[in-house]
Structure 1
């Protein structure tokens, strides 16, 4: 092979790798920006828990109360 052909081949491979690295870096930065947005959005919504969460907690408390009554030998 001629030196010019080898040089052009090497240059094109280098350009392809550089382009892929640049695209990967832009994708990574976009992903990080998305995660930052999600974290800031979640931090802003830290109000009351949803109603389903409160209902589940109430159900769990009721189950614990019943199990404690069973353990104590009291019929409910």
Structure 2
């Protein structure tokens, strides 16, 4: 077997493993942000005076997640 072919195959395999690990980390980060959204939506720690601010923060986080999911899907914004 030719050494160049072995190096190319090994490099491709390594690149695939790194890409898979990064994708898994990205999905985990998105899941964390979704949990934050759920916590804000449930109103944990929000009183009457902070309800409006919580809604603004919730809308901001939802917009961020939409943008991140669009980036993850390869769409241009």
TM-score computed with the length of structure 1 as normaliser: 0.54
Taking CA–CA contacts closer than 8 Å with sequence separation of 6 or more, which of the two structures ends up with the larger relative contact order? 2
Q: Which residue does 2:31 correspond to in 1?
A: 31
Structure 1 runs (4+) deviating above 3 angstroms are 44-47
Q: Counterpart of 1:35 in 2: which secondary structure?
A: helix
Indicate the structure (1 or 2) with the bigger Cα radius of gyration. Answer: 1
Give the unaligned 5+ runs of structure 1. 48-76
RMSD of Structure 2 on Structure 1 (CA): 2.1
Distance in 1 separating the partners of 2:47 and 2:39: 11
